[in-house]
Amino acid sequence: MLIMTPLGLLPAARARAQGAPLTVLSRAEGEILDALGETLLPGAAAAGITNYVDAQLAKDLPFLIYRYLDVPIPAADFYRGGLAALDAYSEATHGSAFADLSSSEKTTVVGGMAGGKPEGWEGPPAGLVYFVVRADAVDVVYGTEAGFERLGLPYLEHIAPPERW
């Protein structure tokens, strides 16, 4: 999964490992997205969820699942709003930013998001943020040829995904 970054074309995972700068999201937003992705599906951060989402948001026609959901807000605003809401909610309920919570606190917060409407959450609906970022995490971990291999599924492509995503 090669994505365009300010350091050039890189696999999403390597872009993250090399600390490639983000183009749409801020560094702070990237950190929250990494922490949320990792809580939703361990391995998503290392697989490059943040660089993948950021590279998609920079495109005219992002391939993100967000496209299906009839949400009349530009995708970048949705992600920014959702990540800010998550941080604010974590501060209010646990006294620190989401990325700094312990893993069991993160699980509690994300479990609340999965349930739909955590009290005091302000921003794009928590359930929708959960749904969208969870889908992104599954995309980068399992939606690729490497992901199928991990599951022992033959990919059987008609046309293989281009190197560059």
Partner 1 sequence: MARFQDEEYGRTGAGTPGAAPVPGVTPGVGASPAAEVTGASPAASPGASPAAASAGEKVDAVIVGCGASGSLLAAKLATAGKSVVILEAGPNLGLKDMVSSQIWSRRWRWNGAETENGGAVGAGFNNGWGGGGSASHHYAVWLRLHEEDFEVTSRFGVGNDWPFSYADLRPYYDRIQEEVGISGDAEAEVWRPEGDPYPMPPLRSLGQGRAIARGFAAIGVRTAPTPVAINSVAYKGRSPCVYDGWCDAGCPIGALANPLVTYLPVATKAGTEIRFDCTATQILTDRTGARAVGVRYVDGDGAERVQEAAVVIVAAFAIQTPRLLLLSANERHPDGLANSSGLVGAYITAHPFQSVYALFDDETDVAFGVSGGNVLSQDDYAKDPDKGYLASWQWTGGSSVKPNDLIGVAMARVDLFGDALHAFIADASKHLTNMAWVGENRAMVDNRITLSKTTDRLGLPIAKLTHEFHEDDLKALEAGMEQGQAAMRAGGAREVWLSGRATQHIMGGAIMGTDPANSVTDAYGVTHDVGNLVVSGTPLFPTSGAVNPTFTVHALALRQAEHLIEEWGAIAR
3-state secondary structure of 9: strand
Distance of alpha carbon 58 from alpha carbon 8, whole angstroms: 14
> Structure tokens of 47?
């697989």
110 near partner 1, rule: CB under 8 A? yes
Part of the chain binding partner 1 (CB under 8 A), chosen from 6-14, 18-26, 60-68, 94-102: 60-68
68 lies in the site for partner 1, by CB under 8 A: yes
Complex with partner 1: residue 21 or 117, whichever CB lies closer: 117
CA distance 116 to 103: 20
Instruction: Please say whether the beta carbons of 32 and 98 come within 8 A.
Output: yes
d(CA 67, CA 70): 7
Q: Closer CB to partner 1, residue 19 or residue 165?
A: 165
Q: Which is nearer to partner 1, 21 or 107 (CB)?
A: 107
Our finding on whether 69 is near partner 1 (CB under 8 A) is yes
Site string for partner 1, 124-163 (x = CB under 8 A): xx-xx-xx--xx--xx--xxx--xx--xxx-xxxxxxxx-
